[in-house]
Amino acid sequence: MKEQFEMKKITRRNFNKLVGAFGTVSALETLGRGPTLLLAAERHVVVVGGGFGGATAAKYLRLMDPNLKVTLVEPKRSYFTCPFSNQVLGGMKTMEELTYSYKKLQRKYGINVVHVAAARINAVSKTVLLQDGKNLTFDRIIVAPGIDMRFDQIENYKPEDTDFIPHAWKGRSATLRLLQQLESMPNGGMVLICPPALPYRCPPAPYERASLVAHYLSQHKPRSKILILDAKEQFPKQALFSAGWKSLYGRMIEWFNGSAGGLILRADAKNMTVETEFGIEKGDVINLIPAQWAGRIARASGLSDESGWCPVDQLTFESTLLPGIHVIGDAAIAGVMPKSGFSANNQAKVTAAAVIALLKEKEPTSYPISNTCYSFLAPDYAIYVTAEYQLSGRELVKINGSGGVSPLNVDLSVRHSEAVSAQRWYDSITQDMFG
The pLDDT assigned to 107 comes to 96
When the pLDDT of each residue in the chain is averaged and rounded to a whole number, the result is 92
Q: Are residues 313 and 259 in the same domain?
A: no
pLDDT band (50, 70, 90) for residue 166: very high
Q: Determine contact, residues 263/231, Cβ cutoff 8 Å.
A: yes
Q: Percentage of residues in the chain with pLDDT exceeding 90?
A: 89
Segment 218-243 mean pLDDT: 98
Given this model, what pLDDT does residue 364 score?
Answer: 96
109/95 Cα distance (integer angstroms): 26
d(CA 12, CA 180): 51
Strands 253-256 and 225-229, sheet pairing: parallel
Query: What is the pLDDT at residue 42?
Result: 82
Q: Is the domain of 241 the same as that of 332?
A: no
Domain boundary among 275, 290, 305: 290
- On whether residue 415 sits in a domain, the answer given is no
Task: Report which residue type is found at 60.
Answer: Y
pTM for the model: 0.90
As a whole number of angstroms, the distance between CA 210 and CA 382 comes to 14
Query: Both 159 and 284 in a single domain?
Result: yes
b/e code 344-357 from CB counts within 10 Å (16+ = b): bbbbbbbbbbbbbb
Are 287 and 142 within 8 A, CB to CB? no
Q: State how many domains the chain has.
A: 2
Find the mean pLDDT for residues 123-149.
98
If asked whether residues 205 and 138 sit together in one domain, one would say: no
Is 97 a domain residue?
Answer: yes
* Final residue in a domain of this structure, among 245, 267, 290: 290
- Do residue 204 and residue 266 come from a single domain? yes
Residue 159 lies in a domain: yes
Average pLDDT of the segment spanning 137-153: 97
Same domain, residue pair 168 and 142: no
**Residue of higher predicted confidence among 86 and 13:** 86
Nearest in space to 72 (alpha carbons), one of 27, 128, 1: 128
The verdict on residue 181 lying in a domain is: yes
pLDDT for res 394: 86
Amino acid of residue 368: P
Nearest to 71 by CA among 32, 128, 124, 5: 128
> The domain spanning residue 238 has which CATH number?
3.50.50.60
| Residues 195 and 112 reside in one and the same domain | no
385 domain-assigned: no
Tell me if 59 is assigned to some domain: yes
- In the prediction, which pLDDT does 171 show? 87
Do residue 161 and residue 130 come from a single domain?
no
Kindly indicate the confidence band of residue 327, based on its pLDDT and cuts at 50, 70 and 90: very high
Indicate whether 380 pLDDT > 50: yes
Quickly state the pLDDT bin for 386 (edges 50, 70, 90).
very high
Q: Which of 271, 290, 309 is the last residue of a domain?
A: 290
Task: Quick: pLDDT tens for 37-51.
Answer: 445 458 999 999 999
Within a domain: 244: yes
The pLDDT confidence band at residue 20, using thresholds 50, 70 and 90, is very low
> Does residue 81 lie in a domain region?
yes
pLDDT of residue 4: 36
Residue 1 has pLDDT above 90, yes or no: no
Indicate if 278 and 185 belong to the same structural domain.
yes
Q: Do 199 and 173 fall within a single domain?
A: yes
Regarding whether 333 and 282 lie in a shared domain, the answer is no
31-60 mean pLDDT: 77
pLDDT recorded at residue 41: 55
User: Given this model, what pLDDT does residue 34 score?
Assistant: 34
Q: 12: pLDDT confidence band, cut at 50, 70 and 90?
A: very low
* pLDDT exceeds 90 at position 17: no
Higher-confidence residue of 205 and 394: namely 205
Residues 276 and 160 in one domain: yes
Mean local confidence (pLDDT), 387-403 = 94
CB 51 within 8 A of CB 26: no
User: What average pLDDT score do residues 172-199 get?
Assistant: 97
Domain that holds residue 155: 151-290
Residue 126 reports pLDDT greater than 80:
yes
Q: Rounded to an integer, what distance in angstroms lies between the CA atom of residue 345 and that of residue 14?
A: 21
Tell me: pLDDT of 26 over 70.
no
